[in-house]
C-alpha cells in the first residue's frame, strides 16, 4: 500500500513507469464530517492506508458547535440526539463524553405559538389539541405503512412517494392555528415546506421518531456535539488534510483533483459530500441524485445575560408564522445566569432571511417583541447560513415527491472505484446517526471488495 502524501500529476512515476500518473493510494475519503471520519477510522483500525481530504479548515462538517466566552455553547448545525441513535451514543460513550438532557419544548403551557403578532401559550388555543392529534394520527398511519425496514419496501411505496405532505394537510382540513403550528413543525423538521416533502419521506421519518418514544430529541453532547468529530479526528491525526477542496472526481479511474491542481489516485474512493456539493465535482452524477431535495436555511444563536423568558414563565420555545420560524433555548441545563436562544430559520423565507446581513438584529428585535426587555440583555451571537455554505449548499436531504424510490438504489451502489457515504445514503437520513452508520457501511464495503 502506498503512503499518505498528496501527489501532483507531474511529480511521480507509477509502478508501471508512466510519467504523469500519480502514485496509487489505498483509500481516499472525501469529507471530514462524521461519515468520512467514521469510515476513515474504521479502515485505519483495519490496517488500511487512508487519507481524508477536507475543504474546510475544521473537521465535523454540519456538526459545528459554538462556544461563548463564558463557556456556554450552542449548536450551529446538528443539535438533538434521540434515544434510538445508538451509533451516536456508543461513540459518545467510547470517547468519554456525557450527554445533557434536553429540558425545553416539552410543556405546552410554557411554549408559545406566535400568530398575527400575538404570542400565546399553546394551551390557550382551544382547537389546537384536537387538530394536532388528527395530524399525528395521519402521520402514524404513514409510519405504519413504512414500518421499520427499508423505506423503499413500504406498503404502497410508489403511491406514497408521489404524494406530498401538502396533499395530506389539505385532506385533513385543519383550523388556522393548527395550520400555522404544523406548517412550522414540518419546516423545522424537513427545512422545506409540506409541498416539498413526500409522504414516503414523512412516514419513514415518523417511524424513526417513534423508535425513540419519549427519548425523541432528548439529548445533546455536553459542551458541544462537535466533540464527536474531534474525537474521531484525533485518532486519524495527519491522515486528515484540511483546507483541500476537491474540484473533480473520476470514479472509474479513482482520480481526485484538488483546487491546487494536485491529483490523487486511489484504489477506493469514499465520497461523503452532500449531494448538492457532490454535483459540482462529479460531472456524471446520475440525474436521480441531482434531483434529490435538500432542506435550506440556518441558525442564529444569541446569548442574553439573563434568561428573561423565564421571568415570563416561559421556557423560550416559540413557533412563529413569521420567517424566523422557531426559537428555543440552547442552554437549558447549562450553568450560568446567561442563556442562549437559537432561531432555526427554515424553508424559503427562513433561508432568505438568514442570508441577509442584518439578520441577527432583526431576530433580536423579534425576541424583544416576544420577551420585552430582552434586547438590552443581548450579547454574543452566532449566525450560520447552511444554504450558502459552499461545502453543504443546504441542510440535509429531504426527499420530495417522486425522488426517493428513484434515488435510493443510486445511493447504495458502487461507481467504479467509488462508494457513496453521508447521511443522505442511510436509513437515518438527516441525522448524525445516518452519517456514522453510512461511514461504517462504506468502510465495510471497501474491506469486502478486497477479499479475494
Ligand atoms: C441546521 C441543521 C440542523 C441539524 N439538526 C440535527 C439534529 O438535531 N440531529 C441530528 O442528528 N442531525 C442534525 N442535522 C444533520 C447532521 O448535521 C448531518 O446529518 C450530519 O452531520 C452529516 O454528516 P456527513 O458526514 O454526512 O456530512 P457533512 O458533515 O456535510 O460532511 C461532508 C464534508 O465534506 C466536506 N466537503 C464538501 N465539499 C467538499 C469538497 N469539494 N472537497 C473536500 N471536502 C468537501 C464538507 O466540508 C464536510 O466537512 C442538522 C443539520 C443542520 C444543517
Predicted confidence (pLDDT) per residue in 75-124, tens digit: 999 999 999 999 999 999 999 999 999 988 888 899 999 999 999 998 88
pLDDT tens track for 334-349? 999 999 999 999 999 9
Mutation pick for ligand 1 pocket among 42, 62, 185, 296 (CB with most ligand atoms within 8 Å): 62
Fold equal for 24-61+225-293+399-449 and 127-215: no
- Look at residue 291 and give its three-state secondary structure: coil
Residues 28 and 12: their CA atoms lie apart, in Å, by 18
pLDDT tens track for 306-328? 999 999 999 999 999 999 999 99
Q: Is 229 in the pocket of ligand 1 (CB under 6 A)?
A: no
250 phi and psi, to 5 degrees?
-125, 95
Burial of 374 by CB count in 10 Å (0-12 exposed, 13-18 middle, 19+ buried)? buried
* Ligand 1 centroid from CA 32, angstroms: 9
* Ligand 1 centroid from CA 12, angstroms: 34
Q: Is 53 in the pocket of ligand 1 (CB under 6 A)?
A: yes
Residues 85 and 391: their CA atoms lie apart, in Å, by 25
Residues 353 and 23: their CA atoms lie apart, in Å, by 47
Instruction: Specify the DSSP element, H or E, that contains 434.
Output: helix 432-449
Atom of ligand 1 nearest to the CA of 422: 26
b/e for 256-273, b at 16 or more Cβ within 10 A?
bbbeeebbbbbbbbbbbb
**CATH class assigned to 127-215:** mainly alpha
Is residue 209 over pLDDT 80? yes
* Ligand 1 centroid from CA 396, angstroms: 7
- Look at residue 307 and give its three-state secondary structure: coil
Residues 184 and 190: their CA atoms lie apart, in Å, by 10
Q: Is 31 in the pocket of ligand 1 (CB under 6 A)?
A: yes
CA distances to 32, 82, 126, 168, 437 from 200, in Å: 30, 21, 31, 12, 21
Q: Is 178 in the pocket of ligand 1 (CB under 6 A)?
A: no
pLDDT tens track for 119-149? 999 888 878 999 999 999 999 999 999 998 8
Domain ranges of the chain: 24-61+225-293+399-449, 127-215
pLDDT for residue 20: 59
Q: What is the CATH number of domain 24-61+225-293+399-449?
A: 3.50.50.60
In this structure, of 12-16, 308-312, 361-365, 419-423, the range with the lowest mean pLDDT score is 12-16
Residue whose cell numbers read 513507469: 17
* Ligand 1 centroid from CA 337, angstroms: 32
Strand-pair partners of 258: 246
pTM, two decimal places: 0.95
Among protein residues, the one with the nearest Cα to ligand 1's atom 33 is 31
pLDDT bracket for residue 372 (50, 70, 90):
very high
Mean pLDDT (the chain) is 94
Q: Is 55 in the pocket of ligand 1 (CB under 6 A)?
A: yes
Among protein residues, the one with the nearest Cα to ligand 1's atom 7 is 78
pLDDT tens track for 8-66? 333 333 333 344 567 899 999 999 999 999 999 999 999 999 999 999 999 999 999 99
Is residue 300 over pLDDT 80? yes
Cβ atoms < 10 Å from Cβ of 126: 9
Among protein residues, the one with the nearest Cα to ligand 1's atom 34 is 31
* Ligand 1 centroid from CA 182, angstroms: 26
The candidate with the shortest Cα–Cα distance to 85, out of 441, 443, 439, 435, is 435
CA dihedral of 101, 106, 111, 114, whole degrees rounded to 10 = 100
* Ligand 1 centroid from CA 307, angstroms: 30
pLDDT for residue 451: 65
Please give the average per-residue pLDDT across 182-204, as a whole number. 98
Cβ atoms < 10 Å from Cβ of 223: 16
Residues 190 and 209: their CA atoms lie apart, in Å, by 13
Among protein residues, the one with the nearest Cα to ligand 1's atom 11 is 431
Is residue 150 over pLDDT 80? yes
Amino acid at each position: 500500500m502506498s503512503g499518505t502524501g498528496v501527489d501532483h500529476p507531474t511529480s511521480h512515476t507509477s509502478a508501471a513507469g508512466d510519467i504523469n500518473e500519480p502514485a496509487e493510494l489505498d483509500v481516499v475519503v472525501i469529507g471530514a464530517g462524521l461519515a468520512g471520519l467514521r469510515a476513515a477510522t474504521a479502515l485505519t483500525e483495519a490496517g488500511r492506508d487512508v487519507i481524508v481530504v477536507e475543504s474546510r479548515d475544521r473537521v465535523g462538517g454540519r456538526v459545528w458547535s459554538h462556544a461563548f466566552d463564558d463557556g456556554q455553547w450552542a449548536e450551529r448545525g446538528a443539535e438533538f440526539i434521540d434515544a434510538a441513535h445508538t451509533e451516536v451514543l456508543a461513540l459518545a460513550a467510547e470517547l468519554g463524553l456525557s450527554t445533557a438532557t434536553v429540558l425545553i419544548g416539552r410543556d405546552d403551557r410554557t411554549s408559545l405559538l406566535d400568530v398575527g403578532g400575538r404570542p400565546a401559550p399553546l394551551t390557550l388555543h382551544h382547537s389546537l389539541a384536537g387538530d394536532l392529534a388528527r395530524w399525528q394520527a395521519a402521520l402514524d398511519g404513514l409510519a405504519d405503512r413504512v414500518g421499520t425496514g427499508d423505506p423503499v419496501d413500504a406498503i404502497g411505496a410508489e403511491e406514497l412517494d408521489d404524494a406530498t405532505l401538502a396533499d395530506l394537510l389539505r385532506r385533513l382540513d385543519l383550523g388556522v392555528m393548527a395550520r400555522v403550528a404544523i406548517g412550522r413543525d414540518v419546516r423545522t423538521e424537513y427545512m422545506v415546506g409540506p409541498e416539498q416533502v413526500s409522504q414516503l419521506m414523512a412516514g419513514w421519518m415518523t417511524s424513526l421518531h417513534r423508535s425513540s418514544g419519549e427519548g425523541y430529541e432528548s439529548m445533546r453532547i455536553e459542551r458541544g456535539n462537535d466533540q464527536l468529530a474531534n474525537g474521531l479526528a484525533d485518532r486519524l491525526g495527519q491522515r486528515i488534510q484540511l483546507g483541500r477542496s476537491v474540484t473533480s472526481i473520476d470514479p472509474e479511474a479513482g482520480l481526485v483533483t484538488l483546487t491546487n491542481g494536485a491529483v490523487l489516485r486511489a484504489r477506493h474512493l469514499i465520497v461523503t459530500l452532500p449531494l448538492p456539493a457532490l454535483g459540482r465535482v462529479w460531472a456524471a452524477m446520475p440525474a436521480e441524485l441531482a434531483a434529490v431535495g435538500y432542506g435550506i436555511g440556518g441558525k442564529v444563536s444569541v446569548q442574553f445575560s439573563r434568561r428573561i423568558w423565564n421571568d415570563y414563565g416561559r421556557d423560550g420555545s416559540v413557533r412563529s408564522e413569521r420567517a424566523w420560524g422557531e426559537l428555543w433555548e440552547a442552554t437549558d441545563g447549562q450553568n450560568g445566569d446567561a442563556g442562549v436562544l437559537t432561531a432555526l430559520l427554515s424553508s424559503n423565507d427562513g433561508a432568505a432571511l438568514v442570508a441577509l446581513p442584518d439578520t441577527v438584529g432583526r431576530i433580536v428585535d423579534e425576541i424583544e417583541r416576544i420577551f420585552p426587555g430582552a434586547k438590552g440583555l443581548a450579547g454574543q451571537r452566532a449566525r450560520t447560513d447552511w444554504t450558502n455554505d459552499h461545502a453543504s449548499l443546504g441542510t440535509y436531504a429531504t426527499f420530495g415527491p417522486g425522488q426517493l424510490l428513484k434515488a435510493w438504489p443510486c445511493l447504495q451502489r458502487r461507481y467504479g472505484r467509488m462508494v457513496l457515504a453521508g447521511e443522505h445514503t442511510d436509513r437515518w437520513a438527516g441525522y448524525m446517526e445516518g452519517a456514522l452508520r453510512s461511514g461504517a457501511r462504506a468502510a465495510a464495503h471497501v474491506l469486502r471488495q478486497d477479499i479475494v
